[in-house]
Copies of this chain bind each other. A is one copy, B any other.
Amino acid sequence: MDEHDRPGWFTRLVSRRTVLATGTAGLAVPAALALGPASSRHAASAQTGVVKKVTLYAEALPDNQYGYGLAPGQATIPGPVLEIYEGDTLEVTLVNNTDRRMSIHPHGVDYGVESDGSPLNASFNNPGETRTYTWRSREMVATAGRRLMPGNAGYWHYHDHAMGTDHGSLGIARGLYGALVVRRRGDILPDKQFTVVFNEMTINNRVAPDTPMFEANLGQRVEWVAIGHGNQFHTFHLHAHRWADNRTGMLEGLSDPSQVIDNKDLNPGSSFGFQVMAGEGVGPGAWMYHCHVQSHSETGMSGIFLVRNADGTMPPGAQEAIDRFRGHDHGAAAGRGPARGHGQHQHSPSR
């Protein structure tokens, strides 16, 4: 499974530079200039409190799947990563090009009942309908009692809440989900970003060996966004890398009490994110990521994180490992047709 053989493997977010009177309409991705292995270490900086606009197109995909995309014919599973900074507003115009009722419901941001995305609040798109959902965010605020009410920064997600039932179970099962990242100013931007959704007994609605192979070069800063969906419990495990079990995956200081982990519960509706330096301290190679529930990894919830050499060449043994993985019999691995989008994208400059 070579990503370069797959058109659309990268979910590239096209920049839109239209400026509106009410604010700055841009891409739902933070500014990040010339993000290479060197420059990406710089902290994020972006205009404060802007209004960003994005249009998502929901459409049917082969094999009874559905996806969200940034343009007609470009739907992917998972949908595109949407990113804002705390303080920004994101106006999501959802075009429903499917023949079913559906919606978009976000986690972690602020929205009125009209943008809830739930049938409970009559907030959804009928077939063919276009509707705009407004998501707001804010920074932490002081409260009486010497504590702070948290802001919206986090590794969140969005998903359908209306297809099939009032809870969107059908839409979620068939692929209508994606990552939503809200950053604090000063957060470190990654070089690459992967979205991993443990959805029922699949990863991004695929099973091994057809699960996404995520790739980075040795030393690149890689951001993982992990999301759980469906009806099963799962645990996400990544070989040879670890992270702090907190907001960023990094320690905030010498006395940060966070446990460091390499395995974490990833249950329906939950999400978390973290950054690792690819292969740091362990070297390049084909590293497994998988659900650690044994019967789940056995039946297809397993994939490869390919850490190439720093110059992008293949490290010794990696191709053999990949070939082994492809030939590896995962009982439940049903064949699937070609799909667009596997949750991986290069972080690229947006303005």
Contacts and interface: CB of A to CB of B under 8 A. Distances in A.
B294 A253 contact: no
Nearest to A148: B251
A243 B263 CA distance: 20
Contacts of A243: 150
A167 interface: yes
B294 A169 contact: yes
Tallying the copies of this chain within the complex gives: 3
A270 B304 CA distance: 20
7 contacts: A113-B285, A120-B286, A121-B321, A145-B188, A148-B250, A148-B252, A265-B267
Interface residues of A, number: 105
Nearest to A110: B281
Interface of A: 41-43, 107-108, 110-113, 116, 118-122, 136, 138, 140, 143-154, 156, 165-167, 169, 172-173, 186-188, 228-231, 233, 235, 237, 239-240, 242-265, 267-272, 277, 280-283, 285-288, 290, 292-298, 302, 304, 317-318, 320-321, 324-325, 328
A247 B260 contact: yes
A260 B108 contact: yes
A285 B248 contact: no
